[in-house]
């Protein structure tokens, strides 16, 4: 579990492509879906090496069209990370429309740790897999406060890499 305020998270374009298509499939065009991005950290740099979808951790996560992640899912997430010596680097979920955080998103971070990164993908992941321009990138500041980051900026918090 990583909560570094100046963290720079990188993901290969090929893993990102796989994630986009997986979230698109699980959203089925009509419901939210999501995943935790996991990997390793070295100082303020983090590299996503895999992801684990919410419903693989908590089979009841998508029961009502929106995401409701339960304690059983968190227990499975911590076990997954412990057994593979990985850290949670960010979470991502889809929205039906844009990438603005809903009041529910703002009030209920998946990991309420200062510096945690939450990503929102629009249109139930029916977005280009080769770009982050449509992505919402948010950093949790604590006490229900968030900071939004611009994807693709020179010193972006979250960026695609070729490798």
The band of 146, judged by pLDDT with boundaries at 50, 70 and 90, is: very high
Cβ of 120: how many Cβ atoms within 10 Å?
23
Model pLDDT for residues 83-92, shown as the tens digit of each residue: 999 999 999 9
Domain containing 125 equals 8-146
Exposure of 135 by Cβ count < 10 A (0-12 exposed, 13-18 middle, 19+ buried)?
buried
Neighbouring C-beta atoms of residue 126, cutoff 10 Å:
14
Q: Check whether 147 has a pLDDT greater than 70.
A: yes
Q: Catalogue the E-assigned strands of 95-157.
A: 117-121, 136-142, 145-149
Q: Number of folded domains in the chain?
A: 1
Residue-averaged pLDDT of the chain: 92
What's the confidence (pLDDT) of residue 87? 96
> What pLDDT was estimated at residue 70?
95
Residue 85, Cβ neighbours under 10 Å: how many? 7
Classify residue 161: in a domain, yes or no: no
Task: Please give the average per-residue pLDDT across 60-77, as a whole number.
Answer: 91
pLDDT, residue 47, reads 97
Query: What CATH number does residue 62 fall under?
Result: 3.40.140.10
pLDDT at 116 over 90: yes
- Assess if residue 40 is contained within a domain: yes
Query: What does the pLDDT read at residue 1?
Result: 53
């Amino acid at each position: 579990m990583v909560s570094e305020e100046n963290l720079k998270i990188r993901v290969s374009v090929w893993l990102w492509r796989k994630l986009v298509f997986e979230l698109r499939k699980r959203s089925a065009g009509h419901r939210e879906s999501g995943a935790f991005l996991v990997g390793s950290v070295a100082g303020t740099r983090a590299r996503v090496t895999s992801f684990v979808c919410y419903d693989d951790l908590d089979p009841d996560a998508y029961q009502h069209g929106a995401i409701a992640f339960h304690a059983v899912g968190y227990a499975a997430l911590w076990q997954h990370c412990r057994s593979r010596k990985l850290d949670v680097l960010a979470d991502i979920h889809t929205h039906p429309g844009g990438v603005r955080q809903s009041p529910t998103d703002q009030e209920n971070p998946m990991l309420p740790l200062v510096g945690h990164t939450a990503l929102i993908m629009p249109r139930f992941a029916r977005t280009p897999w080769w770009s982050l321009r449509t992505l919402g990138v948010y950093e949790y500041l604590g006490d229900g406060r968030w900071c939004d980051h611009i994807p693709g900026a020179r010193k972006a918090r979250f960026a695609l890499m070729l490798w």
